[in-house]
Structure formats: C-alpha cells, structure tokens
Structure 1
C-alpha cells in the first residue's frame, strides 16, 4: 500500500508538472489554453486517485465507484468526484481530437468523419449524465438513511445495474469515437503517402517533397497518439474493477496498479504532444497590452451633427455602400476577361498596382454608367451584402491584392502560392474554389465598391504608369467629383468607412481581411490603419494575409516605431481628417502597437503562431493541393517559389 501510494503520488506529480508547463504556455494560442485546461483536470483527478486509496481491512487499492465495505460516505463522495473528473477529462480530450478532425476536413475539403465523431462524443455526454445520476441518488439516499432495509437494497441494486448498463454503453461510445479518429488519421496518412509517391514520380521540387514527408509523419503521430490513448482507456476500466475484487495475486495487482499509475502520466504526456506547446516559446503579456483597448461605443455618425434630412441621406448612403460586395466569381471574371481586354493598355501582373488598375480599367469600364464597378453591368453576379471587408493599400500590386483575397477563400495564411498559380493558371484556381464551394463568398474592396466617378476620376495629380512614367489619363464622363474637405458630405462615398464598418459589424457576419503588401507599407497608410483600428474597436474577426513568413520575419521589427502622425495619406486634408478623430495620439500609438504586436492577440502573433492544431491544418492543406495537382506538377512548381 505504501509503495502504491508513493507511485500514484509520483504519477500525479508528473501530471502536475505538465499542467504547470502548459499554464506557462497558455497564452501562446487558444488551442494551447484549451489543452492546459485538460492537463489541470487530469492532474486533479490523479491526486484524488492517490488520496482515494483505501486500506480498510483488505490491504487493497480501491478506485472509482467501488464502495468501501463499510460504505463510508466521504470515501464514496471522493470516488464520485474522481469519476466525474475522469468523465470531464475524457470529454475534454475528445474535444481536442474533434477540433483536429474539423480543421482537417475544412483545410482539405474532404470528409474525415468529424460529424460521426462528434455524435459519438455527445452520446458519451448523455451517457455520463446517466451514469452520474444513479450514483448521486445512492449517495444522497445513503446520507439520510443508514438502515439496511429492503428499500435501500432495491435502490442500491437498481442504481448499480443502471450504472453498469449505461456506463458500458458510454464506454463503448468512447472506444468507437477513438476508433473513428484513428481511422481518419490513418486515411490522411495514406493519402499523404500516395501524394508523396506521386510527387516523387513526377520529380516535384525538394521543398514540396520535404513538406509532404513532414505532414505524413505528423499525421501518423496523431493517429499513434489517439491509439495510445485508446489503449489506456481499454485497459484502465478493467484494471480498476479487478483491483477492487481480486484478493491475492500480488503480481497481477502490481500490473493493474502500473496501468492506473501510468494512465494519468500518459494522458499528461499525450496532451503535451497534442498541444504542440513544447515547441513554442513562453509568451509573456506585453507591458503595452495593459493600456486601454478599443471598445464598441454607442453608434454615432463620424461627422458633426447635421440636419435630420442630411442624416437620412447619410444613413441611406452607408446602407448602400454596405451592399456593394462582389463575389469571388465576379472578381476572377474581372481578372480573366475585363482586365486583359482593355484597349490602349496592357496589364502586367508583376508591375501594375491597384491604383493603375483603377485608373486604366475600373474607371474606363464604368465611365458610361458613371457608377461603382460592383453595381455596373460588368458585375454579372450583381452587388451583394459584404461578408468580408478587405483592407488594402492602392500601392500594392493588384495581383497580390487578388491573391490575398484568394488565400482567404483557400484558407491559406500567406498568398505567395495563390499569386503564383494566379499567373500560371487562373482557371485551375477557379476550378479548385468551385469544388470547395467558395466562389459565392462576397468581398468588399473599395476600388470596386466606391463610385470613382464622384471622387477621383477627373483629376490625377500623382498616379503614373510604371513603364512610361506618364500620368494616367483622366475620365471624360459627365459626373462631378465631390469636394469634401471636412468629411461631412452626405453624398460622398469615401467618408463613411467607419459607419459602414459599424453597420456590417452590428448586423452580423462580417469580418476583416488585411491584405499586406511585401514591404508592409500598408501599416504606414493612414486610411488603412484607421480601418484596422476601427474594425478592432468593433471586435470584428481580423486575419492578416502576408506574402510569406519570410516577409514577416524580415520586416516586422520595422513597425515598432509606428506613429500615426508620420503616416501617409493621399492628401494632407485626409490625414488631418483622420488625426482629428483621434483624441490622444500617443494613446492611439500605444494601442496600435498592442494591436500589431501583442503576444496574445496581436495581428503578428496570431499570424505567426504554429501549434499542433495549425499543423493539422497544414496536413489538410497539403492533401488538398496534392489532390488538386493530380500529377500535373503545376502546384509543386509554384510551391517551390512559395517556399
């Protein structure tokens, strides 16, 4: 008994060390924080295991719901609490596995039985509730009735048989869920192995084959980890039962004890590996994160108070702008059909920026209708309510802007691979997006959503062609450009971004994609930073799209001294208008640093984090690209450039 006790205490100590380690890494990612919660429950459950040992007259180690012969109510309550924690920990672990299967399905666009796994998981929840109710009933009845009458015997017998029946079904569901997960990871491993062979047969680049091998190894380890967990679950319940009913057989009792001791320690190691936090650095909350944050305020117009008639016109224009999103299908149609067919101008993807496309394609195409492109006849799908707000810099390459949008639809973190494929075979990308059901996703991009014929079309003080260095020609339409130096015109479409963001955020479903150029110049553009800050204040989901990880690693430190006073805008009046909305510039700069660099929720930290859940996403992503390539080699050729 003493040896068993110290053994269980050492096991719980190991589980506690893992829990403490995960607590220190909990800020690294949401997945790590969730794994930390499981580790803490596993540790407490292990401690209760050692505290729940009973040596009352038998010299045996008793666990779980097997009652003390003297039916000590405190011992039974301790056993009940341990069982409750064990069931919670079991469900918690399966939520970690379920999140992997969900992400694997989403990133690969294939079925890995995540729906079946979740149904089995919830069946265990209801089964566990059915197990706990009879036990709680016995404990409650015994606490207030110590007699050994027939009623007590019947209640106890009924409760125990209910416990055995429901508990057995719950246990079977647990085993079935683990088998489903193992089969799913086995399927992903087999698909990656087939893709690896195909890539090697077609002499794919070394970087692609290396990524495939790493993903295949990781998928195999995930399946092995779940198999390891299933093995302990299969052995643990019989071990706990037999340890309570076997009298004698000392060698067998030692084996049963070892199974129970290693269960907590094995689960702790398993969750450590599942979380991937052993590869991640400790994250301390930055001092700057203690400053205030942007919070949602009462809705109000971002201009001075006007007459009620002007308020109605202002609100109507805000609602109109929010309905000018374009589907991904329409954006690709513009890139494939409208852009190459422009007379007297040839589009060069590696040279022409968004401002060039606006001047030489969007404005000329809509000059007859004198409207925004999204509401013109060229937009075959018609304008739609925006689902995604795209913040971008007009000085960025237009092909990179579209690639960033495509990377969002493809669930890619970086857009270098979509950018390469966009130039090599746009139809291939469109077919892949159609199979994923993404072509109907709606994006709001100011170049297409704003009517350029009432804002900039008649003047061009600085936009020059990169080849000729000549100013782009101005539009000859009959519209009048609105001059709005104070940002209060109800007819203007470039002074209502704050109100439109607020409308999209409060009416639900809209998120923000930040398409960052290779030089990270977006963070030095006053309008872009204002949009990012407003979306953060409105608590919109934000995702950063960068060219590659190398871009972030090489240039992120250049953003440490950002000052909104030094940022650039298309005109000094625009800059003055933005600065006029900021009450405390120094406080705004501090919040901006937190927004970008905060180690817990900053844009850079969120983009750069890589826990094991994201690695599962990488596995699914490689499966999707490998199946889409189908031996053609076009994906892996672009992949080499991407890496």
Structure 2
C-alpha cells in the first residue's frame, strides 16, 4: 500500500498544510516502540549527523506541497516555485521533476527544515497549546490549527511518553535555538545560506519566529534567498510588506511571541532592520525592485535605523553579540 495513503489518508496536496503533515505523518512515523520519538531527519539519516547547507524559514499554514516545491525550485535555481508545485501534483510531473534534479546534479543539497529537523515528540506531539478565550479571533486560529484542513476533524494527539521541554527550560529546549544554530552553521559551513519560503498569502511575514529568523540572518550577514510562488503573488502582497510591524506578529504559543517581543529593546529599529532585510540594496526582494524604488526605500531605512544591531537584550537567546 502507498505509504502516504496508509499514514495520512486525508492528504490532498491542494489543501493539506505543513501543520497537517506534521500532525498526521511526521509525528506518527517518528514514534518508536519504546514510546519515545526522534526528528524525522534523524530517522532518514539513520541517526548519522548531516550538516545543512541551508536553513529554511517557512510557515506551517502554507501548503505542504508548496514548501517542498520551493525547496526543489531553490535546488534547481528556479526563480519561482509555481511550476515545480504543478509538477508535484501528477505522477508524470513528479517524474519530470526527478529527471531535472538528476540532470542538474543537485539531489544531494541539504536543507534544515524545522518540521523535519526538530523532534516533535519533545514538544508539541501531545497538545495543541493553551486555548485562547472562545469567541475571539485567536481562538478561531487555534481551533483551525488543531483540525485537519481536509476533513475538519480534530487531530489525534500522540500517546508517546517522551517528556515535553519548552522555553522555560532553555538549555534543553529544541525550539529556541535557531539563532545560535544559524550562527554556528555559518561558521562551520563556508557557503551556508538562508532560504525564506514565501506562501501565496505572504503570511510567513506575520509569524514571530519567521520574522526573528529573517532579521537574525540579515544581521549575521548570512547569504539570504527568497523563493516566491510567482511574481503575481508578489504584486498582490507588495504593499502589505511595507507596513510589517513585529508588534503585530503571531505565534502558535503566546509564550513564544511574548519571549520574542520582550527580547527586543528597540522595536522601531528592529522594524527598520526587517524592512532593510526585505527591501534593502542587498535585501530579499532586490531582484524585483527597480533602482529608484530601492534607493528611496534604502534611504528611509538608513535614516530610521542608523546601523544594524542593538535590538536584543544580553539575557535573550537572540543575543547578537556572537554574530559573524
């Protein structure tokens, strides 16, 4: 039997999100007979360490097949991932994609993706986080995330016995170390880079962790790339990007959002750095901006921000003092 059908019979590539796949495929497949679990990446590599060449920033509300399409498109050096996404919808298209990867010789590129590389059994597998007050927009969002996007049914929680570790145990938690990991890999890997996968709705720029990762890699001078679904998607969301404010960001766990916001000493400067990282002369969207527009925006960023740095308190895990 097809493993996809056996593990996740409701999977529909046009509807299923990364959150759906984590809950209904990754978590069940990585639980062992001893009642504990491991990261999917560890299972695939048989426990052998693999050093990632790129870290991927993405939002779990994105379609899972769009996440995979963006990574494949990046490996193939395609400008957008819409075409690859279409290939993934049919067996014939999948074969064409596999042939292109073989011809390009890019099948061995390694990417760090939180859904695969974090042990979900050490954090979220048996819970959906604290429920917000009923009747609020926050409750509606929380409720959607605990349900299968296709069937609407609430996910089964994992019965494993592995102890859950959150940010209140920072030394042991797996979810609070993206900044340290990025800086470490940047030192260890000569060509380490950061890939930002943008969903069609551009919601990745509203997620607290994603915003923090984008700013961190910009300030650490890590080579950044962005992978868009299409230029049309950018046209629809371009103006929205110009008003991004970290104070309006969201996170699945309110505690994570508060931790990130409390660690920012100067919100205005942080927002300026975020704008610079997206729109600046070396920013993520530099290929889609004309010279006059880029120069005007860069001038505004410089006047507001002055120089990079100085956002995070020294007690935070997001401390920039160790940046390269």
Length-normalised TM-score, structure 2? 0.79
CA contact (8 A) 1:413 1:544 kept: no
Match of residue 273 from structure 1: none
Please tell me whether the aligned partners of residues 460 and 472 of structure 1 are also in contact (alpha carbons under 8 angstroms): no
Structure 2 unaligned residues grouped into runs of 5+: 130-144, 292-324
Aligned residue pairs total 270
Separation in 1 of the partners of 2:12 and 2:178? 30
Q: Does 1:583 align with 2:265?
A: yes
- Match of 1:400? 66
CA separation in 1, counterparts of 2:166 and 2:283?
37
Superposed CA offset, 1:305-360 (max 9, x none): xxxxxxxxxxxxxxxxxxxxxxxxxxxxxxxx986243463311000000000000
- Equivalent position of 1:351 in the other structure: 15
C-alpha deviation, 1:582, in angstroms? 1.2
- After superposition, the Cα gap between the structure-2 partners of 1:577 and 1:381, relative to the gap in structure 1 and judged at 3 Å, is closer
2:179 to 459, 478, 498: 498
Cα distance in structure 1, aligned partners of 2:290 and 2:3: 37
Match of 1:215 in 2: none
* Among candidates 14, 22, 27, match of residue 363 of structure 1: 27
Q: Does 1:477 align with 2:145?
A: no
Match of 1:460 in 2: 128
Q: Which runs of 5+ in 1 are unaligned?
A: 1-336, 611-643
Please state how far the C-alpha of 1:516 moved relative to its aligned partner. Answer: 0.3
> Which residue does 2:297 correspond to in 1?
none
Kept in 1, the 8 Å contact 2:214–2:274? The answer is: no
The equivalent residue for 1:372 is: 39
Alignment of 1:62-141 (within 5 A): none
1:390 equivalent to 2:56? Answer yes
CA–CA distance in structure 2, aligned partners of residues 490 and 388 of structure 1: 24
Deviations 1:113-137 (A, max 9, x none): xxxxxxxxxxxxxxxxxxxxxxxxx
| Alignment TM-score, normalising by the size of structure 1 | 0.40
Is contact 1:354–1:397 with CA below 8 Å preserved after alignment? yes
Relative to 1, partners in 2 of residues 1:581 and 1:360: Cα closer, same or farther, differing over 3 Å?
A: same
**Larger radius of gyration between Structure 1 and Structure 2:** 1
Query: In structure 2, what is the equivalent of residue 443 of structure 1?
Result: 111
Q: Distance in 2 between the 1:509 and 1:609 partners?
A: 28
| Alignment counterpart, residue 415 of structure 1, candidates 81, 85, 93 | 81
Q: Give the 3 Å change call, closer, same or farther, for CA 380–489 of structure 1 in structure 2.
A: closer
C-alpha displacement of 1:539: 0.6
- Paired with 1:566 and 1:344, the residues of 2 have a C-alpha distance of 34
Change in 2 beyond 3 A, CA 1:478/1:591:
same
Indicate conservation of the 8 Å contact 1:514/1:543, yes or no.
Answer: yes
Once the two structures are TM-superposed, the CA of residue 382 in structure 1 deviates from its matched residue by 5.2
In structure 2, relative to structure 1, the CA distance for the partners of 1:578 and 1:558 (3 Å cut) is same
Structure-2 change in CA distance of 1:482 and 1:553 (3 Å) = same
Partner in structure 2 of residue 140 of structure 1: none
